[in-house]
Each structure stands twice: as C-alpha cells, then as structure tokens.
Structure 1
Amino acid sequence: MKKLYILTQQSLLILSTVFFFSCGDQNHSIKMKGSDTEVNLAVNLAEQYTTADANFSIAISGGGSGIGITSLLNGQADIANSSRPLSDKEIEQFETKNIKVRTVIFAEDATAFVVHKDLPIESIDLETLAKIMKGEITNWKQITTVDLPINIYGRQSSSGTHSFIKKKLKIEFSNTAKEMTGNAQILEGIKTDKSGIGYVGAGYISHESATSPTVKVLNIQENATSPAYSPVDAHAINNSLYFFQRPLYQFILEDSWEKVQPFIDFERSEKGKQLIKEHGYYIIERSENEI
C-alpha cells in the first residue's frame, strides 16, 4: 500500500518541508530539492505519479533554487528545481567536478507583486516598482492617497525568485527588505500588513485567491503610459506580454537520468500538463539539454 510521509519544521509558519513518497527499493529512490516556487507543484505531480508506479520513491524539499543546485553539486539530490538558469559560476563548478547535468524546462511561471486588498493601487510601472524595491520610495503617500511606510517582503538570496527580480529591475534590494523563507510566508505577511508589498509565484496566487481575499495582485506596466498586464492572465503570458515571466527548470544529474526519466515523462504527459495548468503555471515548448 502506498504511503505518504510529511515531515515539517514549524514556527508560526512552515519554514521547511520534506515530502516522502515511498513505495519501493531505496536504491531507486529520488531526491528532489530546490525552488520554493516549484515545490507544491512537484509534490502534487509526485503524489499523482505514485498511483501509476508502485515502485516510485521520492523525497521533495524546497528552500530555494540555490540550495537545490548546491545539493546537486554535493551529491545530495538527483533533481534540482530552479526558477532561474545556472549561473556561469555554477556551470564552472559542475565542469570542475566533472558532473554532467541535464536541463529540463517544463513550465512557464510569472512572478506576481502583491499588496493588501485595502491599499488604493491597482497597477504599478517598472520605474516606480524599482524605486520601492531599492528603498528610494519609502511611503505609500508618494504614489497613493494613504500615508503608510512601505514594508517590503522579499526572499533570501538563495532564492531564484530573488535573483530574478533583482536582475529584471536592475537593482539592489533595500537593506530594510524582510527576507522570508518562501512564498507562503510572504503571503501571510501581506495579508496582515496594509503597508506591505511582496513578490510570489503566480501559481501560489491561483490557490490563494479563493481563500485569501486580503491579497491584491498588482498589474504591471513597463512605463506610466503603457498597458498594464496581470501575471494571472493566460493571454498575457502566452503572448509574452507580462514583464516578470520566466521558464521553470529542473537540473538532473546525468548519472540519475535513468531512474528519473519515467517521472519526467509523466510531467510531459497530458495528465502532467493538466496538473501544471491547475497549479497556475503555463505549458511551453519543452526542451532538454546537457551541460
């Protein structure tokens, strides 16, 4: 009989979670680590895959793209989920250790900027957003009708989303920005902080929208006169109109490919694609290569 084991380390919020789907020989078990953006989707895919493969065994944990990639380098994972590509330094590290890695792009994600629902703002342009994130605009009265100091909710530097936003806005984050461990923690902060602004994977928004009406997703404009687009608008994403959209990666050890491939094939199946869509992500032309 298939069993699901969930181990959690908690404070007020879940800080780290490891999911074990264990059904077979541990010599064939898979360890997947990395992106917090992808972890809920990965767990759901694994859970569904166990219904088709009685010998499937996998342990999944989040923590950030950098943690997943480091785990791959150190032989502590077979798959690293990542919301960013490998850096030049990381590629060099893999080459130095003579570790061959396959790269799979399996979905398209969008990063949403969220505020409390009561904040009187619907859209924001990139210049204004950058000034907020780097600490040049510090009070909402500078751009809205309310007088509230701005609280920034972001991710730790090991997060691929942190690196993605930093690169896209061409900024260094304000040193007052709160560094949160994951998307869920950012959302919890915004729900109770009428002066907060944060960024999370759009896939999290699709699950939170029905139960968390206190969170508002901002539409993004490239400049003050350009159209505003939403990260949860499929048309905008499919036509590459939303500024903060990106591919999601899985880096897989070449030595682990044989035991990992059936799971990757499941992700690429019609059922896998449907699960990806249900989590608020988008299907794109998939690719696979080796470094």
Structure 2
Amino acid sequence: MKGSDTEVNLAVNLAEKYTEMNKDFSIAISGGGSGLGITSLLNGQADIANSSRPLSDEEIEQFKNKGIEIKTVVFAEDATAFIVHKELPLDEIDLETLGKILDGKIKNWSEITSQNLPINIYGRQSSSGTHSFVKKKLKIEFSNAAKEMTGNAQIIEGVKADKSGIGYVGAGYVAHDPAANTAIKILKIKENPTSIAYSPIDANTINSSLYFFQRPLYQFVLAESWEKVKPFIDFEKSEKGKKMIEEHGYYIIEDK
C-alpha cells in the first residue's frame, strides 16, 4: 500500500490491528503522496494506492492504455485544516482572503491582522492530493514562495516554530493531538466575510457537509489483487475499523 500522506498513519494503525487478528496477512505501507501511490499502481509496485483525490482523466487513460483494471473504495471522509501559530491574532478567514494569501497576493499579516509579519506558507509538493485539492477548491496557483513540505507532520512542526506561518494539513492529524493544538491554531473557514465560519474538527459540521474543504478518501485497488486485499477492506468497514477511523479524526462515509 502506497500513497496519500493524509491517510498513512490511519492505514498503518488499521493494518497493525488487522494483522493481530489475522497472522497470515502481511502488508507494507508507505506514504509519499497520492500521485506516487497511483503511479506505483500503474508500475506494478503496489496493490493498493491511498489517495485523497479522485483519479485524474489522464490517470484513467493511463490505466486503460495499460489494460489495468482497478476497483475504487471510499473508506472515510476527511477535512483539510488550515493552521497558524497560536499567537497569531486570527481565528477565522474567508475563502477569498485565504486564496490571496496562498497565491502570494497578500504577503504580510498586517493586511488582515494587527501583526506586522511577512507571511510564510507551508504547503505540500505537487504530487500531494491535498495540494491539488486546495488548489482546485480555491481556483488558485500556489505562490512560488510557498515551502513544499513532505507531509502533515513537517507542516505542523514548521508552523509551530514560525509565528508568521500558515499551512494546511489533514484535520485528522490535529483533531486528537492536544500537544499540537496548544502550539497552533486551527482557523475556522467561512465562504465570504459575512457568512458563518465552520471548523474542520466539528463532527456536526462535517456530517452536515457544511465545511468547504471536506472530501472523500479513496483506496484504489488492482483488480488482480482484490481477493487478497478484500479481507483488509472488509476490516476497515467493520465496526472496529470504523471506530479506529473516527478515533483518528476522520468521518465515516456510507457506501453510495
């Protein structure tokens, strides 16, 4: 299993619990981004690709051209959280302002807060599904000055240490991490300056589909590997698996 850094910690813990129950099952898991996981499927280097985005038209065509059949599993729902240093005097932000920060049009916090600090952006590499997701939702291109980090943990550490930092991470990484939450602040998001601001770590908000940056999490599985993978997928969808998904700060999504 390879792919999404958003999903990797959850996948590792699910696999550990499942292998305790089924000693014959063996799985190796690594992150690296959704794009890497999908490429690994195409190249025969993985049975499962974790992805925080759907397949692109180009990827669908690549699988078709190679004659590779895949099955798609939606196993959870995630929200992307935007974080700043705990001392920044900002609690919520609207989409237009957020977009202008991330694309570099707003360069100093003094433009929207009482703090005079140049803004530092902590983001992901272009192979990241979260990077693509945020870019598409805001209809922007990221500023060339944005730092490209390898994963959620690195972004959190960057923002913790940087009073002028802003970054985006999987809400599951911060929802149940009291240590992280004492050093950073999760911004509430509102669609425009006069609308209600919503938090990505409020289950009621997510269940009501009110948060702008929420999305399904995917697992793409090689059809030829399905029989050996299916028992693990079944475990993810079991009551025990669902409980673990929720404990990691993600939300259960029913099959459609």
Q: How does 1:190-229 map to 2 (within 5 A)?
A: 190-229=159-198
Q: Distance in 2 between matches of 1:37 and 1:160?
A: 9
Aligned partner letter, 1:92 = E
Q: Distance in 2 between matches of 1:35 and 1:49?
A: 20
Q: 2:224 aligns with which of 255, 273, 277?
A: 255
Aligned partner letter, 1:281 = Y
Partner of 1:128: 97
Partner of 2:124: 155
Aligned partner letter, 2:55 = L
Q: Distance in 2 between matches of 1:211 and 1:136?
A: 29
* Residue 50 of structure 1: how far off its partner (Å): 1.1
Partner of 2:19: 50
* Residue 207 of structure 1: how far off its partner (Å): 3.5
Contact kept, 8 Å, 2:174 with 2:180, in 1: the verdict is no
The answer to whether 1:175 aligns with 2:144 is yes
Q: Distance in 2 between matches of 1:194 and 1:220?
A: 20
* Residue 285 of structure 1: how far off its partner (Å): 1.1
Per-residue CA deviations over 1:95-147 (Å, capped at 9, x if unaligned) read 00000000000000000000000000000000000000000000000000000
Structure 2: runs of 5 or more not aligned: none
| Larger helix percent | 2
Contact kept, 8 Å, 1:107 with 1:286, in 2: the verdict is no
Q: Distance in 2 between matches of 1:209 and 1:128?
A: 28
Aligned residues: 256
TM-score, normalising length: structure 1: 0.87
C-alpha RMSD of the superposition: 0.7
Secondary structure of 2:20's match?
A: coil
Q: Distance in 2 between matches of 1:238 and 1:52?
A: 31
* Residue 208 of structure 1: how far off its partner (Å): 2.6
Structure 1: runs of 5 or more not aligned: 1-31
Higher relative contact order (CA 8 A, sep 6+): 2
Secondary structure of 1:198's match?
A: strand
Q: Distance in 2 between matches of 1:155 and 1:212?
A: 20
Q: How does 1:6-45 map to 2 (within 5 A)?
A: 32-45=1-14
Q: Distance in 2 between matches of 1:211 and 1:168?
A: 26
Contact kept, 8 Å, 1:277 with 1:283, in 2: the verdict is yes
Partner of 2:108: 139
* Residue 196 of structure 1: how far off its partner (Å): 0.2
Q: Distance in 1 between matches of 2:54 and 2:145?
A: 27
Partner of 1:24: none
Contact kept, 8 Å, 2:152 with 2:169, in 1: the verdict is yes
Q: Residue 211 and residue 139 in structure 1: after superposition, are their counterparts in 2 closer, same or farther (change >3 A)?
A: closer
* Residue 211 of structure 1: how far off its partner (Å): 4.7
Partner of 1:111: 80
Q: Distance in 2 between matches of 1:90 and 1:198?
A: 28
Aligned partner letter, 1:98 = G
| Larger strand percent | 1
Secondary structure of 2:141's match?
A: coil
Contact kept, 8 Å, 2:122 with 2:149, in 1: the verdict is yes
Secondary structure of 2:49's match?
A: strand
Q: Distance in 2 between matches of 1:139 and 1:258?
A: 54
Partner of 1:100: 69
Q: 2:215 aligns with which of 246, 266, 269?
A: 246
* Residue 220 of structure 1: how far off its partner (Å): 0.1
Contact kept, 8 Å, 1:209 with 1:215, in 2: the verdict is no
Secondary structure of 1:229's match?
A: coil
Contact kept, 8 Å, 2:52 with 2:218, in 1: the verdict is yes
* Residue 286 of structure 1: how far off its partner (Å): 2.3
Secondary structure of 2:31's match?
A: strand
Q: Distance in 1 between matches of 2:190 and 2:63?
A: 38
